[in-house]
Chains A and B, each alone.
Chain A
């Protein structure tokens, strides 16, 4: 009887206990890390979001006031939300389509594939600060390369980052230039599609376009799903280039708040005005939006993406 129990519950045997302790010990850096830098901060920021917490003053409970203020009295918040949604809704599909297009080009039978791939990926390695400085210069309305090239063919270029209408498209243009590793991921996915599928489809008389829609797109849908989710989360928190080009201070997200993105507004409230309670509420709204969007995409993906679970 005793042996039987032991067989049924090997988890409590001496070696199992030793393994448990070893596993715990080896994982301890992350266990401590996740408690200190993820679990506690999440609980704390949730609590702060219901307080007025202007450091260095102590937090003071004000209930839902931060959230009410965000959605009713704050004239910057809807703007920041809209700007980030704009960047995500237009930017991410453009970046996905563009990187897929580049990957398709690289996947053709051409010489020097490694060299072309390097050229396509390299912008991703440019530091965000340098990217902001460089593109601000290239898109300079009067002296910039782009507008002078346009002028040469008789087109009067827009004011790009200096125009409230064009500033967000300029940002998307810059980020699309820097897709880099998205192309690599798509390229790897394309190379993973079994060639037999294309061959048999060709024998069955499917044209190139048909093969693309019915074989390529479904076969790489797992990568599309991955890039969509990570891209959206990143895009909603987008900060560095917005801060450098749009700026904080008294005229945040210039011109006319058109570059006041969500991540930038959060930063301004937290680290320029030191309103930690209010900023925490902004962060939690962001978290809620990301969670809902991710959930919706993952749910709907059962219908359009094909992947094995890990």
Chain B
């Protein structure tokens, strides 16, 4: 660019060397800062990966080494066999699947009612949705536990899955905000043509809401997959544990120092985190968009 400009006869557009130098220095400074902060974010990940591949004596070595020698891939085998990894994975996936089905259905119909049906009381209901979003979950936790234990649902997946069929304030809000962007003329026209609300919901609104549905799916998956307190309260039986509880099993059995099982524990931790990372890379735009729409308009 500079070279082309220099050839131009009008030379007052050429930046003086001092300005160019300053620009370069500034750019170097910018990249240095960005890279340093990126390293701060990355180091714990690298450490997780490194520890998961170390033989026991290198885990206890001082000063610690970065590159394991040899690479103990067998830690990953130990990681999934010291605890019943695949059983817990299956339980976790099962819970996630039901919760996602429940949430997608319940939150979208309610959001449709709050955005495309004109009925008395919808303003009040929306206000309730907003208020509930601000409510700390601890206030309702105990009576909900008591209800479920009276129903005999302790040690089943029911307390973790059934509530998702009754909506969730945050996701109803998210979907409602998205549905509001679908032009009313569109649904009104369909209504005049004699379409039922169910028809408009399922054939007009839902197909237009793929990005919002993807956000709902992604966040529900991540939060359910990583949830700790819910399974901790409701799942006592070892066979019903989720991965979050399985990982705690490592801490209980081998302690925070890890000892001999440290490599296996880190390998299991790595495997547990992997689905989230993959999902994030696949659906990065969706995540970011979801956070932005839900947060900025809140």
Binding site for B on A (CB under 8 A): 11, 16, 19-20, 22-27, 29-34, 36-38, 40-42, 44-45, 48, 55, 102, 105-106, 108-110, 114, 116-123, 125-130, 132-138, 140, 142-143, 145, 148, 151-152, 177, 181, 184-185, 188-189, 192, 222-223, 226-227, 229, 233, 236-237, 239-240, 243-245, 263, 266-267, 270-271, 276, 279-280, 283-284, 286-287, 290, 294, 310
Kindly identify which residue among B38, B48, B117, B262 contacts A119, using a CB–CB cutoff of 8 Å: B38
**Contacting residues, chain A, for B112 (C-beta < 8 A):** 26
What total of A-B pairs shows CB separation below 8 Å? 269
Q: Which of A30, A127, A129, A136 contacts B256, CB < 8 Å?
A: A136
Known A125-B280, A128-B226, A184-B288; further 8 A-B contacts with Cβ < 8 A? A26-B110, A26-B197, A31-B125, A45-B139, A125-B276, A127-B272, A129-B248, A287-B138
- The stretch that binds A, out of B28-36, B73-81, B93-101, is B28-36
Q: In the complex, are the beta carbons of A122 and B128 less than 8 A apart?
A: no
If A125-B277, A137-B256 touch, does A110 touch B118 (CB 8 Å cutoff)? Answer: no
Of A122, A133, A184, which is in contact with the most chain B CB atoms at under 10 Å from its CB? Answer: A133
A287 to B140, CA, bound (A): 10
Q: Which residues of A contact B67 (CB under 8 A)?
A: none
B269 touches A134 (CB 8 A): yes
Q: Which residues of B contact A106 (CB under 8 A)?
A: 34
B121 lies within 8 A of A45 (CB): no
A residues near B82, Cβ cutoff 8 Å:
none
Are A226 and B142 within 8 A (Cβ)?
Answer: no
Task: State in angstroms the CA–CA spacing of A34 and B125 once bound together.
Answer: 10
- Whether the pair A145, B43 counts as a contact (CB closer than 8 A) is yes
Query: B165–A29 contact, CB under 8 A?
Result: yes
Q: How far is the CB of B192 from chain A (nearest CB, A)?
A: 12
| B45 CB-CB contact with A under 8 Å | yes
Are B167 and A151 in touch, CB under 8 angstroms?
Answer: no
Nearest chain B CB to A272's CB is how many angstroms away?
Answer: 11
CA distance A22 to B132 in the complex (A): 23
Question: In residues 111-144 of chain B, which contact A (Cβ within 8 Å)?
Answer: 112-114, 117-122, 125, 128-129, 132, 134-144
Q: How far in angstroms is the closest Cβ of chain A from B143?
A: 4
Residue contacts A-B, CB under 8 angstroms, 22 given = A11-B120, A22-B119, A23-B117, A33-B163, A34-B169, A36-B166, A42-B140, A102-B37, A118-B284, A130-B48, A134-B266, A138-B44, A143-B60, A185-B296, A188-B288, A226-B295, A226-B296, A240-B229, A244-B228, A271-B233, A276-B146, A290-B134
